Amino acid sequence: MSVVNSEKSIELLNKSVADELAAVQQYMYFHFHLDDLGFTPLAKLFKRTAIMEMGHVEALAERILFLKGDVLMAAAEPVTTITDPAKMLAKAIEMEQGVLMITIVPRKPAGPTPMPYRSSFSSAS
């Protein structure tokens, strides 16, 4: 991988780290408040989700270090202060849908159009 490509990869990976750190902080904020309000099962769910997000940060950090970059440990955005459980759930859904849009929107192929593949979910066998 060229130095330029490596630098761009590190930049993009650090952006993902920042997004994941923002999610960790937001989900822990929800956990604290929901636990205080007595919504223990939902509070535990947000805590587990935050821990999963920490695992994503770790995996991204490992890749950045493999590329000889530095991991920037700064959240992409501040915590949104929400104390209403329904609004917390709406915010969590919004956050996760944003990640899905980034993850599953296909990029235009650089070369010739690839042959279509049959998904394991297709109805024809």
Rg (CA), the chain: 18
Residue 62 and residue 89: Cα distance in Å, rounded? Answer: 31
Nearest to 31 by CA among 46, 20, 49, 52: 46
pLDDT at 125: 39
Q: Is the residue at 46 inside a domain?
A: yes
- pTM for this prediction: 0.76
Mean predicted confidence (pLDDT) in 22-47: 97
Q: The domain that contains 22 carries what CATH number?
A: 1.20.1260.10
The token pair at 108 is: 């235009």
Mean pLDDT computed over every residue of the chain: 84
With bands split at pLDDT 50, 70 and 90, how would you rate the model's confidence at 43? Answer: very high
If one counts the domains in the chain, the total is: 1
Q: Taking residues 5-26, what's their average pLDDT?
A: 95
Average pLDDT over every residue of 21-43: 97
Residue 68 covered by a domain = yes
Q: What residues contact residue 46 under an 8 Å CB cut-off, 6+ apart? A: 27, 28, 30, 31, 34, 88, 92
Q: Would you say residue 48 lies in a domain?
A: yes
